[in-house]
């Protein structure tokens, strides 16, 4: 596959959102990347453009990570998945944030369609399996769950010693159960555990939650 050769195209690729791959640029630049199969246009409004898996690979190649011309300036307000473990306050609340989360989730669903062998939108894709914490956080926030923050209770997504699983915690039994249900709907395998027991010895997500319990989740594969 031919790589883009213009500095403008390289700036667009290098400036893609690091989590969702959402692109910003002129219509001509974005259309050209679609022709190169390095980007796709989401079928639903606002019809945003996102990097394809091939586009992500190009962006991650060392010689392409930085444009040959002027560097890309950091873009204020770039989307970031909220895991509930961030230090300090997070900006962009309200309707603007909800739109960003919705776009991020729709981008992941479209990436599933494009990259899963059977075009299955219900099963996490390779990108999600490689970015477990961020992917789980996007699914939770898109489902209406609230991340923890200063003076605010909510979910917390953290890595675990298991390479294919993350832990999700909430301060209440109802919160634990709601997170489990949201992630199951998003295509994740879910089990509920006590902080005092090892994974594999506790009940499933359908069991009643309680203090000191958490959800262990991994992407469903089949």
Give residue-wise pLDDT tens across range 102-124.
Answer: 888 888 888 888 888 888 889 99
Q: Is the dihedral of CA 160, 111, 79, 146 positive or negative?
A: negative
* Gap between the Cα atoms of 40 and 53, Å rounded: 10
pLDDT tens digits for range 1-21:
455 557 777 788 888 887 778
DSSP class of 93:
-
Structure tokens at 59: 């962006």
In the predicted structure, residue 150 carries a pLDDT above the cut 50? yes
With H, G, I as helix, E, B as strand and everything else as coil, classify residue 1: coil
Distance CA 22, CA 16 (A): 5
Q: Name the average pLDDT for the chain.
A: 79
Strand partners for 217 = 166, 190
* β-pairing verdict for 213-219 and 188-194: antiparallel
Report which of residues 61 and 90 the model is more confident about: 61
- Report which of 76, 75, 108, 106 is spatially closest to residue 91, judged by C-alpha positions: 76
Residue the block writes with tokens 């958490």: 214
Q: How many CB atoms lie within 10 A of CB 53?
A: 16
Report the candidate in 109, 170, 171 with the shortest Cα–Cα distance to residue 135: 109
């Amino acid at each position: 596959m031919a790589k883009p050769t213009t500095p403008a195209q390289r700036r667009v690729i290098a400036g893609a959102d690091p989590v969702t791959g959402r692109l910003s640029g002129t219509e001509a630049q974005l259309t050209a990347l679609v022709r190169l199969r390095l980007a796709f246009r989401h079928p639903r409004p606002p019809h945003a453009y996102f990097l394809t898996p091939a586009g992500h690979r190009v962006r991650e190649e060392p010689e392409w990570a930085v444009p040959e011309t002027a560097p890309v300036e950091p873009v204020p307000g770039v989307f970031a998945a909220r895991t509930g473990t961030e230090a300090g306050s997070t900006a962009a609340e309200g309707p603007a944030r909800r739109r960003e989360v919705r776009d991020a989730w729709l981008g992941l669903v479209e990436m599933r369609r494009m990259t899963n062998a059977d075009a299955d939108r219900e099963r996490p894709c390779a990108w999600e399996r490689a970015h477990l914490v961020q992917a789980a956080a996007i699914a939770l926030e898109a489902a209406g769950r609230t991340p923890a923050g200063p003076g605010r209770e909510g979910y917390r997504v953290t890595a675990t010693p298991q390479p294919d699983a993350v832990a999700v915690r909430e301060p209440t039994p109802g919160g634990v159960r709601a997170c489990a249900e949201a992630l199951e709907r998003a295509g994740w395998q879910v089990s509920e555990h006590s902080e005092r027991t090892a994974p594999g010895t506790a009940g499933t997500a359908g069991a009643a939650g309680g203090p000191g319990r958490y959800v262990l989740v991994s992407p469903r594969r089949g």
